[in-house]
Structure 1
């Protein structure tokens, strides 16, 4: 095995140790943000206020040494406030480009669901194409470019549901839980001074690129790729068998059909994301190969925001995570 895998396993451990100086608990959030950074994807953090979502994003921006900007999304926000606009200069008689805060490496889109459709579409171009159109010209965004968005699931007044096309562009959706009693005691002891704790710059753009290159060297067996496709296909309300490379993909047993709870399932982009996140988990463990457990552990965060539930699911109190867990329990391992 390449010594680089052991080196970066130790680096990941250092990052988590350094992040723990500010953030108590929230291992899923830390793993999710780190996975998004390494995979070059965007992440949506969902949780009630006061759970250190913003602090976690700021901390990782400092740890990585990347340029960081925060956009506070509000109902009166305009697309120009995100992407930038053209400014007329009287002295020269020309229009010049004033770039918006999206021109950075790490964008914190705070309370992203508070912005209207026009703003969402401006951000969608940045997320999907890594570029922004201002006037008649398109401008490339810096590399790396990652959107770390937060949203509050309980406060719906003055909010806008994110369109499915935008949700699909998020590599992961991580649910931020309440801390345990022991963790909350530690949080209260800090008296809100966690943000003042200094953290060391461990990562850099160069190291991040090395990790991303190493990610491509992580092997995933053909059978495991079929397993990934089978999981994604099982989220779709179609019970027919699909084929990949002339090999039948595993399907859910008829008696355990869950399609009545799903209006729309995950797209092929989910399979690509699941493979990347499984490789990242292998890399973080110092391995150059993917295990079935890597896929199973990555599945909820990759799939939960890509499944559109039916009215039957709402009536029966069934969540996306419930369906994903049932799929994982019933899907035969390769």
Structure 2
């Protein structure tokens, strides 16, 4: 790790100003991803701006939404009573996303901004990585690719977005609040991320001198049921091979509302609109769930080593639709 300057910001506008004054500076919050990338030599910021003292720590319940400060930890959000009662798939995604030690350090803003776990991106000796060096190619396309993406992927990049929480939040139409040098803005999380087939080097719409200040999570109808299913190689502290965040409102055996997010298969947290279209207004049956899963994975882009993810993602989605709707196979 190279030497760097350390500055502690005292308020949000100061942090934004410090970022604007130094195009190469980075922010430091929980550091669970940032420090790993610095140790690996992937990131070498000359200055770190510590934002842990900024007033972005609270969880507020405002009407039919929950407002979460960017510096709230994963563990704090998982322990919130409203999240446990009304947003079980968010709580499950948080608890399945990291060990207790990491959940007590990792922040919500940092989780949404975490970089890919692609082994080629994180190995500076690999020259072919469009995410690190645009135009250099993608070593993963020809290499070992088991943990890579099949949605939003192309020969340019198949790096996987690893956040569990973001999968649940995109399904819930969460909104990210952002502070910039001149103004603040709010961006739906479904529009915040960019697919790797378009811009491997740029993963989201956040500009350099902008800072996530919070996330607004709409509360679903009280009749809704939701859950998060994560399929992985081992039961503890492992990234998803496939995951599904599902919210359903079922009345009289008919699905009145459906929200679906997929993880472990996309270059960004994947909102499965095709599945929602099939599900809405249809009977809550396994046959419907199979049709929804088929529609979701129809345009998957695979390489040798990732083909298995297509049927696995289908089965994962069907299983969680069954779990949430309480329809047995």
How high is the TM-score relative to the length of structure 2?
A: 0.23
Query: Which structure would you say has the larger RCO, counting Cα contacts within 8 Å and 6 or more residues apart?
Result: 1
Larger radius of gyration: 1
- Structure with greater helix percent: 1
